[in-house]
């Protein structure tokens, strides 16, 4: 059995987040359509645009390491997206829908932040300066999105979810 290295782990994790971002890109328009709060809709639409840029940066990292951009099934993101879809079905038309959608979106953000933080650390260790810059750019976007979602939740969406229909 061949010895696996940090390079191999970096590549496998890169494929994981590439797959995840592509699935997120498909899910965001559905979440935007499902959202009742206009600011939440706008946040999902903005993040869709950011996700497109993040996918492009991932493709650049694949080029840096001399590999074809490809994904591998990410069970974690599949589960998080599935939970979001379940919230849309179970809470459709209710005051709590947006709070549930926002929570699902933050679960996605936290997964992405975890993956990008790990990839950035490994890229540093592996001496991939160009990849580090790309990963830091994406990590900053993901963190900013998470902060914006928290502010939206705390300023309006969670309180609206408490109201009687």
Query: Pick the residue with more confidence: 55 or 156?
Result: 55
State the pLDDT at residue 164: 57
State the pLDDT at residue 155: 86
Instruction: Report in angstroms the alpha-carbon separations of 131 from 22, 76, 123, 136.
Output: 19, 24, 6, 8
State the pLDDT at residue 160: 79
Topology of domain 6-158, per CATH? Ferritin (1.20.1260)
Q: Is the per-residue pLDDT at 22 higher than 60?
A: yes
- Cβ neighbourhood burial of 161 (10 Å; 0-12, 13-18, 19+): buried
Give the rounded percent of residues in the chain with a pLDDT score beyond 90: 82
- Residues 115-132 have a mean pLDDT of 98
């Amino acid at each position: 059995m061949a010895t696996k290295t940090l390079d191999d782990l970096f590549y496998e994790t890169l494929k994981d987040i590439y797959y995840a971002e592509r699935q997120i890109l498909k899910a965001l328009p559905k979440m935007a359509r499902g959202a009742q709060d206009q600011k939440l809709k706008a946040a999902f639409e903005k993040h869709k645009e950011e996700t497109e840029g993040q996918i492009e940066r991932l493709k650049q990292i694949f080029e840096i390491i001399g590999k074809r951009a490809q994904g591998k099934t990410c069970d974690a993101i599949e589960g998080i997206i599935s939970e979001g879809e379940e919230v849309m079905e179970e809470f459709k038309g209710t005051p709590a829908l947006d709070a549930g959608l926002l929570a699902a979106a933050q679960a996605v953000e936290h997964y992405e932040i975890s993956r990008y933080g790990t990839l950035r650390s490994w890229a540093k260790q592996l001496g991939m300066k160009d990849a580090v810059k790309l990963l830091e750019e994406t990590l900053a976007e993901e963190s900013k999105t998470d902060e914006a979602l928290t502010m939206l939740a705390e300023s309006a969406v969670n309180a609206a979810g408490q109201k009687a229909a």
